[in-house]
Amino acid sequence: MPIPSKAPTIQPLKPATTQVVRPVAPAAAQQALKPAAPKGPAFKISAVPDRTRYLKCLIYGDYGIGKTRLAATSAAVDQMCNVLMISIESGDQTLLDDPEYNFDEIDVVEVKNYNVLGHVLDFLKMHVRLRDQEGPEIDQKLREVEAALKGCKPEDIGVPRRYYTVILDSLTEAEQYCMNQLLGITDLTRIDFEAATAEWAEYKKQHSMVQRLVRNFRDLPMHVIMTCSRSWTQDERKRFQYGPQMTGKLAGQVQGFMDVVGYLVTLPPVDEEGGKDKRLPRRLWIQPVSNWAAKSRFANYKGNYFDDPSFPKILKSVGLLDAS
């Protein structure tokens, strides 16, 4: 006869349930996270001819080819003024001593890190809302903001600036500043500091941040001109292909955001003043007729390029120059 065991019966454990505890945001923060209810219709329908037209342009080419100078010729077009240049390459010296295109009327913001770019973008978003309003109180507000940014008194400013064009010079340097921020490198970092090497995670963040930068500037209700250095690749037949110098797929994606993508090159020199001097003409290709990236959304302009380009010439050719 078996002897019953006196050991305690062990019941199988029930599987534990994991409860995720999420921090509860304060009521004010929760309210702030909710999208604001649209005032009136959620979207607006307008006819194509009724829309205000602003040029969104990317110019790329070799260093020293004249991209900054070409972008700055926008100051010679009344409807593009005032012009604000965001100088990332510190290349604004090319704008000295040339009264033909009103370069002395351009305001310049020198940028040394990616964080400042974000502040400039915030300023422009605020500025365009004020810019399109009229009245002495609006003028005074514009005057106060401008004085604060220029380090002077509001009464020192006569007619406040109303910016209708922004130049971002250049996207190549902006992208590098973005990576520096991700790696913790600033303008105060010593050159002998052994910075971390960029890995896949950093490149993914850089891609997203620079793409948002271009989109946000592109969406501003003003003329937007961006410059970029040139890069090249080779296909399976060892043929060179030229395009904007940006990391990975950004080189192609950025082109999709723009109305015009122009590849700036030099032509063979021509004699001037009886053969004593030689002038180096420029050509801006806006169609991909050879081994370079280019585009133009303006079907009314049938040409493939502009010789000795300037923005007065470009806007007139594509039908954006105000007849008045």
Cβ pair 222, 165 in contact under 8 A: yes
With tokens 């309003």, the residue in question is 133
Here the tokens at position 2 are: 């078996």
Q: Which of 118-122, 275-279, 311-315 has the lowest mean pLDDT?
A: 275-279
Can you give the pTM of this predicted structure?
0.82
Rg (C-alpha) for the chain, rounded Å, is 27
For residues 134 and 128, give the distance between their C-alpha atoms in angstroms, rounded to a whole number: 12
Burial 106-130 (b: 16+ CB within 10 A, else e): bebbebebbeebeebbeebeebbee
Percent over 70 (pLDDT), the chain: 83
Cβ pair 226, 59 in contact under 8 A: yes
Fold topology of 53-318:
Rossmann fold (3.40.50)
Highest mean pLDDT among 1-10, 23-32, 171-180, 229-238: 171-180
* 299 vs 2, residue with greater confidence: 299
Amino acid in position 289: V
For residues 305 and 262, give the distance between their C-alpha atoms in angstroms, rounded to a whole number: 8
Q: Would you state the pLDDT for residue 142?
A: 93
Q: What are the sequence ranges of the domains in the chain? A: 53-318
What's the rounded mean pLDDT across residues 53-62?
Answer: 93
pLDDT at 265 over 60: yes
Cβ pair 168, 86 in contact under 8 A: yes
Percent over 90 (pLDDT), the chain: 50
Residue 21, beta-bridge partner list: none
Q: What are phi and psi of 102, to 5 degrees?
A: 60, 40
For residues 178 and 185, give the distance between their C-alpha atoms in angstroms, rounded to a whole number: 10
What's the rounded mean pLDDT across residues 153-163?
Answer: 92
For residues 74 and 2, give the distance between their C-alpha atoms in angstroms, rounded to a whole number: 103
Reported for 247-253, long-range contacts at CB under 8 A and 24+ positions apart, including other chains, are 247/175, 247/203, 247/206, 247/207, 247/210, 248/203, 248/207, 249/207, 250/175, 250/207, 250/210, 250/211, 251/293, 252/293, 253/211
pLDDT digits (tens, 9 = 90+) for 220-246: 999 999 999 999 888 788 888 999 998
What's the rounded mean pLDDT across residues 266-292?
Answer: 83
What's the rounded mean pLDDT across residues 124-137?
Answer: 92
Q: Would you state the pLDDT for residue 196?
A: 80
Cβ pair 258, 219 in contact under 8 A: no
* Helices 171-182 and 114-131, packing angle to 10 deg: 120
Classify strands 56-61 and 223-234 as parallel, antiparallel or unpaired: parallel
pLDDT at 80 over 70: yes
Residue 46, beta-bridge partner list: none
Q: What are phi and psi of 242, to 5 degrees?
A: -110, 145
Q: Would you state the pLDDT for residue 21?
A: 47
